[in-house]
């Protein structure tokens, strides 16, 4: 067995799958003499943001050997990684999934999307009588048969789902090969319309907890292009026999609870998902669209990446968006982590202002900017496996 940076044991085959995703040309390694003691990788992806898509640097495989912690190795690698993005004129935004949330803010990342980690008691799940499930059907497909169908649906949903990244071949290979401990084989349910068109899918596994008579259905991912397909897939999952409960992670505004007679059949706990950091402030802010017209001058304070510091004027009105450096007086002052947290529209600037993380320098500026940054739906990252709720 091989241990990863989080202490998990990997089979001999798993490192090969993990190496397939990162770009080794964009990987930084730290050494103590000839001994490798740390590393961080980035690779290019495209992320759906409010009103569009932006190229992002996906940060992964971050770790430092336990023998060399608290020596500044991680800080040096993260600073170098961000400086390389800037100097090589790569992606204007960096994103990551945080293994330890307390660390990311030190490097200017803010929690930009959340998931709702849920547990459903199958016996308590009753759908309202007026829910429209459409006239389609749900069928089970093997992995080879399901993969092209699933990938096509994912792309359709991703097009306008904020927080969803593109998935290339290597990312799909990792996704299909994931196998959390204690779970069974990956299963795929596909929803088809009466004419045969595929309009949704659910990926799930069975898990049998020690001492439990019945198993748990772990839903890894569900995507649908219509509300009827969404409802039909959840009805299928909650109707599987010999299961006492379901675990899943959904968007915090997923409509499932509104389809049920008793919304208390769902127990939930929020969890942070994507963390975002602006690398080039002007380019990042100009790449997305805004809910209402806004003109505001931000002062960004950034000790780690001084090139992002300064004042920026954002002017947005519908599809017309411009952001550039300015000498005008600042109306809001904030750090890169606050700007990153608000970037996808899930964390409001007003909320950050109430916490003292964003400073309002001109009356009314915080309210206007907060309204502009918010999205129609909550951002969500459709990745990772649900953990048990206690």
| Concatenated DSSP letters of 69-136 | TTSSHHHHHHHHHHHHHHHTT--SEEEEE-SSHHHHGGGT-EE--EEEEEEEEGGG--B-TT----S-
Determine the Cα–Cα distance for residues 288 and 343; give it in Å rounded to an integer: 9
> Closest Cα to residue 44, out of 200, 171, 204?
171
CB neighbours of residue 109 within 10 Å: 25
Task: Please enumerate in sequence order all residues whose Cβ is within 8 A of that of 53, keeping only pairs 6 or more positions apart, or say none.
Answer: 46, 47
Q: pTM for the full model?
A: 0.90
Determine the Cα–Cα distance for residues 267 and 33; give it in Å rounded to an integer: 51
Each residue's pLDDT, cut to its tens digit, for the chain (390 residues) gives 334 555 555 556 555 655 555 577 889 888 989 999 888 899 899 999 999 999 999 998 888 899 998 888 988 889 999 999 999 999 999 999 988 778 888 999 999 999 999 999 988 999 999 999 999 999 999 988 999 999 999 999 999 999 999 998 888 888 888 777 778 889 999 999 999 999 999 999 999 887 677 889 999 999 999 999 999 999 999 999 988 899 999 999 999 999 999 999 999 999 999 999 999 999 999 999 999 999 999 999 999 999 999 999 999 999 999 999 999 999 999 999 999 999 999 999 999 999 999 999 999 999 999 999 999 999 999 975 444 333
Q: With beta carbons less than 8 A apart as the criterion, state whether 21 and 136 touch.
A: no
Q: Can you list the alpha helix ranges (DSSP code H) found in 131-280?
A: 143-158, 169-177, 227-238
* pLDDT (0 to 100) of residue 184: 85
- Which helix (H) or strand (E) segment holds residue 19: the answer is helix 14-20
Domains, the chain, in order of start with CATH, read: 2-112 (3.40.630.30), 116-271 (3.40.630.30), 278-373 (3.30.1050.10)
* pLDDT (0 to 100) of residue 238: 96
* pLDDT (0 to 100) of residue 173: 86
* pLDDT (0 to 100) of residue 15: 59
* pLDDT (0 to 100) of residue 105: 87
* pLDDT (0 to 100) of residue 39: 87
Q: Find where tokens 């005008």 sit.
A: 328
Helix axes 143-158, 169-177, angle to 10 degrees: 120
Would you state the structure tokens that stand for residue 277, as one six-digit string? 């950091």
CB neighbours of residue 226 within 10 Å: 15
Would you state the structure tokens that stand for residue 152, as one six-digit string? 């096509």
* pLDDT (0 to 100) of residue 387: 40
- Between the alpha carbon of residue 245 and those of residues 69, 178, 193, 250, 263, the distances in Å are 41, 22, 28, 16, 15
* pLDDT (0 to 100) of residue 331: 98
Q: Considering Cα of 76, then 77, then 82, then 87, what sign does the dihedral take? A: positive
């Amino acid at each position: 067995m091989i241990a990863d940076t989080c202490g998990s044991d990997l089979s001999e085959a798993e490192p090969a799958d993990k190496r397939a995703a990162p770009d080794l040309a964009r990987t930084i390694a730290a050494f103590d003499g000839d001994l490798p003691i740390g590393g961080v990788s980035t690779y290019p992806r495209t992320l759906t943001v409010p009103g569009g898509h932006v190229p992002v640097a996906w940060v992964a495989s971050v770790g430092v050997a336990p023998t060399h912690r608290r020596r500044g190795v991680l800080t040096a690698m993260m600073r170098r990684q961000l400086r390389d993005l800037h100097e090589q004129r790569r992606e204007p935004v960096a994103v990551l999934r945080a293994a330890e949330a307390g660390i990311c803010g030190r490097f200017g990342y803010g929690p930009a999307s959340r998931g709702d980690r849920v547990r459903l008691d199958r016996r308590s799940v009753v759908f309202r009588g007026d829910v429209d499930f459409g006239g389609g059907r749900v069928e089970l497909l093997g992995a080879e048969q399901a993969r092209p169908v699933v990938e096509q649906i994912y792309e359709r949903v991703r097009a306008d789902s904020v927080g969803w990244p593109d998935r290339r071949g290597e990312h799909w290979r990792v996704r299909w090969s994931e196998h959390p401990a204690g779970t069974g084989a990956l299963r795929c349910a596909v929803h088809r319309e009466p004419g045969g068109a595929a309009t949704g899918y659910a990926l799930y596994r069975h898990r049998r907890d020690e001492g439990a008579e019945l198993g748990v259905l772990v839903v890894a991912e569900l995507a649908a292009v219509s509300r009827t397909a969404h409802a039909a897939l959840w009805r299928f999952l909650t109707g599987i026999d010999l299961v006492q409960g379901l675990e899943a992670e959904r968007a915090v505004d997923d409509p499932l609870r509104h389809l049920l007679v008793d919304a208390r059949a769902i127990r939930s706990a929020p969890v942070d998902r994507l963390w975002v950091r602006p690398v080039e402030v002007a380019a990042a802010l100009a790449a997305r669209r805004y809910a209402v017209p806004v003109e505001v001058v931000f002062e960004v304070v950034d000790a780690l990446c001084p090139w992002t510091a300064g004042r920026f004027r954002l002017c947005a009105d519908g599809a017309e968006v411009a952001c550039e450096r300015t000498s005008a007086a600042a109306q809001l002052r904030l750090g890169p982590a606050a700007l990153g947290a608000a970037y996808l529209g899930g964390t409001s600037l007003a909320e950050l202002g109430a916490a003292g993380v964003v400073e309002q320098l001109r009356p009314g500026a915080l309210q206007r900017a907060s309204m502009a940054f918010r999205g129609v739906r909550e951002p969500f990252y459709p990745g990772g496996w649900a953990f048990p709720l206690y």
